[in-house]
Each structure stands twice: as structure tokens, then as C-alpha cells.
Amino acid sequence: MRRIRYESTGGPLFLEQVAVPEPGPAELLVRCQAIGVTLPVVRKVTEAAEPIPLGGEIAGEVVAVGAEVTRFRAGDRVTGLCFGHGYADYAVLHEAMASPVPAGASAVDAVALVRGGLVASGALAAARPAKGEAALVTAAASGVGHLAVQLARVRGAGRVVAAVSSAAKADFVRSLGADEVVRYADERWGEPVDYALDAVGGDLLTPALAALAPGGRLVAYSSGGGTIQAYDLLVGARSVIGFQMARIARGEPELYERWRAELWRLFEEGALRPAVHAEFALTDAAAAHAVIESRSNLGKVVLRP
């Protein structure tokens, strides 16, 4: 089978031929039909000290299962988070990380919706939103952010502010339900909001915190790092909440499953619309990464083996 990997930090991605992997006792072997490209994986290629397997969101058909698997069988359509090599024709997926893809949804729908939607759902839950509150979403045109904008509205936000890197993304985020659009470079980000969901980190933490009303909550779920001054929290009694999806997946599987079911329900009802910026062939993985690095995507970037 074909697989994409790299050999050194920041090095080029290249295609190799390897044997089809064997699933472990609690694993599924999946023929990949769609692979989601994420900013954390792109960052690891350019920043990690050692090369890592290119994993992430996959969706496709189960072709074999391990002896301990009870929920799936060959022929089922699934999606989930692959921690090994996912940029490939076939990938191994742990049963605990897999969920079925319902009839009427494509593999592309699945990778555009589920993982990004779970992160957006979790970040929103961490913010403890009340009906009618004002929300701010950074990276609002990203694979996670464009779903967070919609979910904030579904959860009763009275006003949704979308923060983006470029004015060229304004029409896109407005089409998803954003009431206002601000650019990162703007001096002020409009009227204060009650909570903010930040997927960028770094230097953007300061303006995101400043955008909060007194008592406001900033949920930080970015891999981009950043520093906040304690004094900025004291002024206005603002708070910062860290959110990590892996902790929910491992420690609260029932909540994780409930969020997944809600995402598919909202998708089927037409209340949640995952957007796909572009689909690339597996051999064009480097071009897909370049789109993410340039922050030019409107929605999800997908590889199609």
C-alpha cells in the first residue's frame, strides 16, 4: 500500500510503498476513503524534535478486525482518530476511537464533522455558555472554528463574533451564522463578549482575553502556546480554561459518545454544515499541508486516497 511520511523535522513529505498493517486485538483495519488534515499534525512536521507518524482523522471501510473487537465488523463504515500512520491507503484504528458513519453521509462528511465537531463541542462545554450570551470564536474559518461558530448559535448564543486572519474570510463565516467579523490585526474586536473559544494561542491570547466582558471566560484549546499576565485576569475577574479533547475521550467516554451522537443528529437535521475547502489526492499531501500552513482554508482540508 501507499503511505506518506517524512524523515526529518521540516523535511519534505514523500510517498513510500509498505505492507498493509495487521490490526491488533482491539483494533480495526480501515481502507481509508478520506483523511482530515489538521493544524496540530502540520505543526508537528515542522516543529517536532523527531519524525512522527502522520496520523489524525480518518474515515473509510473496515476490512478486518482484531479478536477482541465487538462493536464493528468487516464492511462497516467508520471514522475516528488514528494515532499511528493515517496518511495511507489503509490505517489501524483503535475500537475505542471509532464511531459508525450513518447512511447518507460520506467519508468526507465524516472527517469534516466528527473530530472537529467534538473539539468544538468540548470547548463550548468548557465555556459553560448561557442562553443569550455573546461568543467569540478565533480561527473561525478553520476546520474546528467553522463548526464552533455554528454550534455556538445552536447552543443559544445571542451574538457570535468570528475572528479571522483575513477579511477575505468574512463572507464565509457570516454564511455560517456569525453576526460580526473581526480581523486579528484590528485594534478593537467590537463590543465585549461573555466567552471566547481560542484555537490559535500565541500572541492572540492577549486580544482574545481583552475582548471579554467582566467575568468572561476564555477557553484555550490551541497547540500554539502563549502567555497570559495574571494582572489581565484580575482586571474584570476574567478566567482562562484549558481544554483537551484526549482527556474527555479517555476519561469520559459516555460524554464523548453523547457529543458524537449530537453532531450526527444536527448534521442530519441540517443545523450543522461541515464545509470542505479542498480535497487532495494522497500524493498531494504536501500541497494540502501548504494550505493549512498559509491559513487560507475555509473549512476542512481533506486527503482522498
Asked whether residue 155 is domain-assigned, the answer is yes
Whether this model's pTM surpasses 0.85: yes
Asked whether residue 96 is domain-assigned, the answer is yes
Residues 131 and 93 in one domain: no
**Percent of the chain scoring above 70 in pLDDT:** 100
Number of domains into which the chain is organized = 2
202: containing domain: 116-245
User: What is the pLDDT, as a whole number, of residue 76?
Assistant: 98
Render pLDDT for 32-61 as a digit per residue (tens, 0 to 9).
999 999 988 998 898 888 898 999 999 999
Angstrom distances, CA of residue 48 to CA of 51, 54, 139, 220:
7, 12, 22, 21
Res. 91 pLDDT band, cuts 50 70 90: very high
Asked whether residue 200 is domain-assigned, the answer is yes
Render pLDDT for 138-162 as a digit per residue (tens, 0 to 9).
999 999 999 999 999 999 999 999 9
Query: What is the SS3 string spanning the chain?
Result: CEEEECCCCCCCCEEEECCCCCCCCCEEEEEEEEEEECHHHHHHHHHCCCCCCCCEEEEEEEEEECCCCCCCCCCCEEEEEECCCCCECEEEEEHHHEEECCCCCCHHHHHHHHHHHHHHHHHHHHHCCCCCCEEEECCCCCCCHHHHHHHHHHCCCCEEEEEECCHHHHHHHHHCCCCEEEECCCCCCCCCEEEEEECCCHHHHHHHHHCEEEEEEEEECCCCCCCCCHHHHHCCCCEEEECCHHHHHHHCHHHHHHHHHHHHHHHHHCCCCCCEEEEEEHHHHHHHHHHHHCCCCCCEEEEEC
Average per-residue pLDDT for the chain: 94
Residues 120 and 53 in one domain: no
Domain CATH code at residue 232: 3.90.180.10
User: What is the pLDDT, as a whole number, of residue 253?
Assistant: 84
Res. 187 pLDDT band, cuts 50 70 90: confident
Render pLDDT for 283-294 as a digit per residue (tens, 0 to 9).
999 999 999 999
User: What is the pLDDT, as a whole number, of residue 248?
Assistant: 82
Render pLDDT for 221-232 as a digit per residue (tens, 0 to 9).
987 788 888 888
pLDDT over threshold 90, residue 10: no
Render pLDDT for 250-276 as a digit per residue (tens, 0 to 9).
788 889 889 999 999 999 999 999 999
